[in-house]
Amino acid sequence: MKFFIDTANLAEIKEANDLGILDGVTTNPSLMAKEGITGAENILNHYVAICNIVDGPVSAEVIATDFEGMVREGEQLAALHKNIVVKIPMITEGIKAIKYFSSKGIRTNCTLIFSAGQALLAAKAGATYISPFLGRLDDVSTDGIQLIQQIRVIYDNYAFNTEILAASVRHPMHIIHCAEIGADVMTGPLSAIKALAKHPLTDLGLQQFLADYAKGNK
Ligand code: G3P
């Protein structure tokens, strides 16, 4: 299972990368705005800065919602760095854009997936990744994990190469459930990734080992 971090914060990306378990990065316009990155040039430079930290796929989202605009923006993004994956929203114009990029060998991440039908269409169009938003489904009393399970079955039935990138992951149990049902990738905050390491019995056990060592080695 691949681990992506879902942020545009360079310090967090670096910290996750230094752990040695980071496979890639996802961003979106809200995450860029959260870091105060505005203006076309600053945004493009920020993507390059992220690519220079992590040696893996970095999703950069288009703002256009028409086919021509998505193609124009996507090509500009893809030309920035070999790690860039063009992130395209799941709308009908987006499906056409995914098909276009797939025919050009440019990787895509189809975002804002909330149903199995959307996931099927994106895979048919040749998306490299699809991003079902797990946490946002849970937010509206709908089982996000169940959707990912359903997509897993559909993709396996037809051996689609599209990777399921579980997004809107909020906490460590989301990551564990995604791993159990075979999501190819998860993207979440640094806090959820670091929380996987925590267990009170580990802390207590270590405290005891160090105390016992100290007693015998005064
Ligand atoms: O990768 C999608 C993600 O950024 C959405 O997460 O927590 O805003 O629902 P969230």
Per-residue pLDDT tens over the stretch 150-167: 999 999 999 999 999 999
pTM of the model as a whole: 0.96
Per-residue pLDDT tens over the stretch 182-209: 999 999 999 999 999 999 999 999 999 9
Whole-number percent of the chain with pLDDT over 90 = 100
46 Cα to the center of ligand 1, angstroms: 19
Whether 171 is in the pocket of ligand 1, judged by its Cβ within 6 Å, is no
Whether 4 is in the pocket of ligand 1, judged by its Cβ within 6 Å, is no
Per-residue pLDDT tens over the stretch 60-95: 999 999 999 999 999 999 999 999 999 999 999 999
**If 0-12 CB within 10 Å is exposed, 13-18 middle and 19+ buried, where does residue 203 land?**
exposed
Q: Which residues are catalytic?
A: 87
How far, in Å, CA of 27 to CA of 88, rounded? 12
Q: With the C-alpha atoms ordered 150, 153, 159, 164, is the resulting torsion angle positive or negative?
A: positive
131 Cα to the center of ligand 1, angstroms: 10
Whether 83 is in the pocket of ligand 1, judged by its Cβ within 6 Å, is no
Whether 28 is in the pocket of ligand 1, judged by its Cβ within 6 Å, is yes
Contact 108, 85 (CB under 8 A): yes
As beta bridge partners, residue 2 has 185
In the chain, how many H helices and how many E strands?
11, 8
Q: What is the pLDDT of residue 218?
A: 84
| Most ligand 1 atoms within 8 A of CB, residue of 35, 133, 138, 147 to mutate | 133
